């Protein structure tokens, strides 16, 4: 099992941030199915101000490319993603169309001497 960490910003608007949090209390079943089907065993999203950090625990056969392709072919997931863009904004270093950016792991307690 691998773990990835990604980050993204939300619009800096407290009302929109609350709406975003509310949406994540009732994630659509189709979105949950697409997450599980991709090989994501667990996902967590953390919030500080308007900065999000998401961790993904994935199976060994998970790839971001396969997840993106499956999502692109799923109209309900695309509807969810379009809805989420009302609240999310790309980080300044994101390329056009990029959303969640993969963070670089620079330290791991379990690997420390």
Cα 60 from Cα 79, distance rounded (Å): 28
- Share the mean pLDDT of the chain: 96
pLDDT of residue 94: 95
Per CATH, which fold does 2-111 belong to?
Alpha-Beta Plaits (3.30.70)
pLDDT of residue 106: 95
Give pLDDT < 50 ranges for the chain.
none
Category of 97 on φ-ψ map: left (φ > 0), alpha (ψ -120 to 50) or beta: left
């Amino acid at each position: 099992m691998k773990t990835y960490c990604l980050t993204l910003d939300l619009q800096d608007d407290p009302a929109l941030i609350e709406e975003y949090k509310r949406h994540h209390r009732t994630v659509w079943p189709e979105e949950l199915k697409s997450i599980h089907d991709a090989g994501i065993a667990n996902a967590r999203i953390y919030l500080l101000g308007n900065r999000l950090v998401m961790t993904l625990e994935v199976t060994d056969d998970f790839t971001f490319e396969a997840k993106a392709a499956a999502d692109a072919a799923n109209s309900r997931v695309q509807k969810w993603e379009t809805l989420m863009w009302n609240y999310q904004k790309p980080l300044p270093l994101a390329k056009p169309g990029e959303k969640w950016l993969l963070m670089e792991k620079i330290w791991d307690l379990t690997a420390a001497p």
